[in-house]
Amino acid sequence: MTHLQQREQEISQYVVTAAQMRDIEERIFAAGMPVVALMEKVAGLISRRLLAMIPPGKSRVGVLVGPGHNGGDALVVARQLHFQGYEVWIYNPFPKVKELTSQHLQYAQSLGIPCYQAIEQLPNCDLLVDGLFGFGLERKLTDAVASAIDHFNTWKQPIFSIDLPSGLHTDTGEVLGTTIRATNTFCLGLWKQGFLQDQALDYLGKAELIDFDIPLADVQAVLQDAPKITRITTAKAISNLPLPRPPVTHKYKEGHLLLICGSHRYAGGAILTALGARASGVGMLSIAVPEYIKPLLVSHLPEALVVGCPETETGAIAHLQLPEKTDLNSFDAIACGPGLTTDSTPIVQQVIDSDRPLLLDADGLNILAQMGTIPSLQKRQATTILTPHEGEFKRLFPDIPNIHQDRVKAVQQAAMQSGAIVLLKGARTAIANSQGSVWLNPESTPALARGGSGDVLTGILGGLLAQAVKKQIALEDMVATASWWHSQAGILAAAERTELGVDAFTLTQYLMKAVMGNG
Ligand SMILES: NC(=O)C1=CN([C@@H]2O[C@H](COP(=O)(O)OP(=O)(O)OC[C@H]3O[C@@H](n4cnc5c(N)ncnc54)[C@H](O)[C@@H]3O)[C@@H](O)[C@H]2O)[C@H](O)CC1
Ligand SMILES: [K+]
C-alpha cells in the first residue's frame, strides 16, 4: 500500500464535530501554520477538483460568498477560476466580513471580477460555488440570505458547496432555517458528523473529502478524550471478512449460532434470517422454529440443525424444545426475533435470562419494549445487541426525544442507558456501545428499504457474533462489519439489477459477491 493510500484509509475513518474541527484547526495555527497559507492551500485543492469536474463548455460561474472563512475559501476559488479563463461573478450580500475574507474580496475585485449584493444582479450562470457558511454557522438563517438560498435552490444549475451546504448544522445535519441543496459537497479536512446523519442527505449531493494534510497527531490529540466516533470504512470492514480460520479447526470452533425465529404468519422471515447466517460462514447453525414450518426450513437450509418447537394456538413458538443434552449454554450466540410475533414473550424472557451474547431484532424488540427495556436488560452479564429501526427504537426508548434531530446522540444515549450495543437502522445506520463510542455506516441504498431486508442483517450479524465469541474479537466490530456488509450487498445488487431488483432473497445472493468485489 502506498503512503497516500494509507493516509486516505486513516483519515477517512475519523468523524468530527464543529467544535473539534475548530480545536484541530487552532492547534495547526498555534504550531505556526499561517491562516492565510492554509486557506490558499485548501482553496487550491478545491479549485483543482472543481476544474476536473466542470463539463467542457460550461464557463459561467457564480460564487456565493459569506462573511467568514468559508467565504474566504470561495473567493480564492473565484480567483483561481478567473485565471483559468472562466467568467466569474461574486455574490456577497454581507456588509461586514472577516478581515482575511475582506482582503480576498478586495483583491478579486481589483482583478476585475464583478461583485454583487443583490441576486437580481447576478447573471445566468452554468454553475454555482457555495461559500456562504461552513462550520461556523451558529444560528438559523433568516431574511435576505435565507431567501437568496431558497432562490438559488430553484435554479437548475449544479451547486458545489464548500465544506458543507450552507445552512446545514455541522453536527446534527439539521436544516437551520434553510439550506443550499448541493449537487456536490467538498468536505474539508475531516468528515463532519452532519454528513452521516439521515436528515442531511437531501442536501449534500455527492460528498467527497478534500484532504489537506492535517497532521494525524493533532486529530488524535483533540479526539482522545471524547467518545470515539468512527466512520465504518471498507478497508476496516473487509479486514474481518472472512473471519480468519486456522488450518486445523472444526465446526464448533467456528461458532455455534442459535436462531430463534418464525411463526405460521411469518415463515419466510426465518428463511431469510437463516440465509444471512449461512453467508456469515458460521461453523454451526441451529434454528428454532414452530414445528409446523420445520420442513420448510430444512428444504432451504439442508446444512442447518432445525429444531421444531411446540406452538401456540396462533402458530408462534410456545416454548423452546432444544435437543437432548442441549441448553442455551451450548451456543456461542443467540439471535432472536424475526417473524416471532408478540406471542412468544416467554421465549424472549428466557433468552434474556441466559448468559449468552444475545441479538434481539423485530418482534424480539417489540416484546422487550413491552417488558420494559432498561429494567429487563439490567441483570444481563453477557453482551446484548439491539437492532431497531426508528419505530422500534421509539418503543424501546420512549424517553429519548427527537431522534430525528440527532440520530448519533440518540443511539449513544440508548446504548449508555441500556448497556446494550444499539444499531439504529437508517440511510446512515448508527451503532453505539455502552461507553458512548459510535460507528457510522457511510454508504447504503434506498433499495434496502424493503420487507425482509432486516431479517437478512440479523442473520449475518448473528453468524458473525457466534464466530467472534469463539475468536475473542470485539463484538462491536462485528456489528459495524455486518452493517457495512449488508449495505454493500444492497449497493452491488442495485447496481446490477436496479433498485427494483433488490428483494431480500436476492440480497442474500449478493453477500458473497460484496466480499469478493471489495477484497
Ligand atoms: N477546517 C479548517 O481548518 C479550515 C477551514 N476553513 C474554512 O473556514 C470555514 C469556517 O470559517 P468560519 O469563519 O469560522 O465560519 P463560516 O465561514 O462558516 O461563517 C461564520 C461567519 O458567519 C457568521 N454567522 C454565523 N451564523 C450566521 C447566521 N445565521 N446568519 C448570519 N451570519 C452568521 C458568523 O458570525 C461568522 O462571521 C470552514 O467551513 C472552511 O470553509 C479554511 O479556509 C481552511 C482551513
Ligand atoms: K458552504
Domains and CATH numbers, the chain: 3-226 (3.40.50.10260), 235-518 (3.40.1190.20)
Burial degree of 447 (CB within 10 A; 0-12, 13-18, 19+): buried
Which pLDDT belongs to residue 103?
98
What's the CA-to-centroid distance between 163 and ligand 1, angstroms? 10
pLDDT in tens, 102-154: 999 999 999 999 999 999 999 999 999 999 999 999 899 999 999 999 999 99
| 52-106 pLDDT, tens digit each | 999 999 999 999 999 999 999 999 999 999 999 999 999 999 999 999 999 999 9
Query: How much is the pLDDT for 312?
Result: 96
Q: Supply φ then ψ for residue 88, to 5 degrees.
A: -120, 135
Note the pLDDT of residue 517.
85
Give percent of the chain with pLDDT exceeding 70.
100
- Residue of 188, 218, 219 to mutate, ligand 1, most atoms within 8 A of C-beta: 188
**Integer Cα distance of 172 and 336 in angstroms:** 32
CA of 432 to the centre of ligand 2 (A): 29
Please work out, in degrees rounded to the nearest 5, the angle formed at the alpha carbon of residue 105 by the alpha carbons of 99 and 107. Answer: 105
Q: How many CB atoms lie within 10 A of CB 99?
A: 9
Residue 377 has pLDDT above 80, yes or no: yes
Return the number of other C-beta atoms located less than 10 Å from residue 88's C-beta: 26
What is the tens place of the pLDDT at every residue in 183-223? 999 999 999 999 999 999 999 999 999 999 999 999 999 99
pLDDT, tens only, 475-497: 999 999 999 999 999 999 999 99
Mean pLDDT, rounded, of the chain: 97
Indicate which ligand has the atom closest to the C-alpha of 131: 2
pLDDT (0 to 100) of residue 314: 95
Task: Determine the average pLDDT of the residues in 229-258.
Answer: 95
454 in a labelled binding site: yes
Question: Can you state the angle between helices 35-53 and 99-110, rounded to 10 degrees?
Answer: 50
Q: What are the b/e assignments for 313-350, b being 16+ CB within 10 Å?
A: eebbbbebeeeeebebeebbbbbbbbbbbebbbebbeb
Q: Is residue 66 a known part of a binding site? A: no
Q: At what angle do helices 267-279 and 453-471 cross, to 10 degrees?
A: 40
- Residues with C-beta less than 6 Å from any ligand 1 atom: 21, 25, 38-39, 42, 66-73, 98, 133-141, 162-163, 188-189
Look up cell 485565471; give the residue. Answer: 83
Percent of the chain at pLDDT above 90?
97
CA of 259 to the centre of ligand 1 (A): 51
pLDDT grade, residue 11 (50/70/90)? Answer: very high
Instruction: State the pLDDT at residue 315.
Output: 95
- pLDDT per position as a tens digit, 412-460: 999 999 999 999 999 999 999 999 999 999 999 999 999 999 999 999 9
Judge whether residue 519 has pLDDT over 90: no
Helix axes 69-83, 35-53, angle to 10 degrees: 50
- Ligand 1, atom 39, lies closest to the CA of 134
The three cell numbers locating residue 179: 439550506
Residues in the chain: 519
Q: How far apart are CA 504 and CA 450, in angstroms?
A: 7
Is 82 marked as a binding-site residue?
A: no
280: three-class secondary structure by DSSP: coil
Confidence of residue 402 (pLDDT cuts 50, 70, 90): confident
* Residue 408: per-residue pLDDT: 97
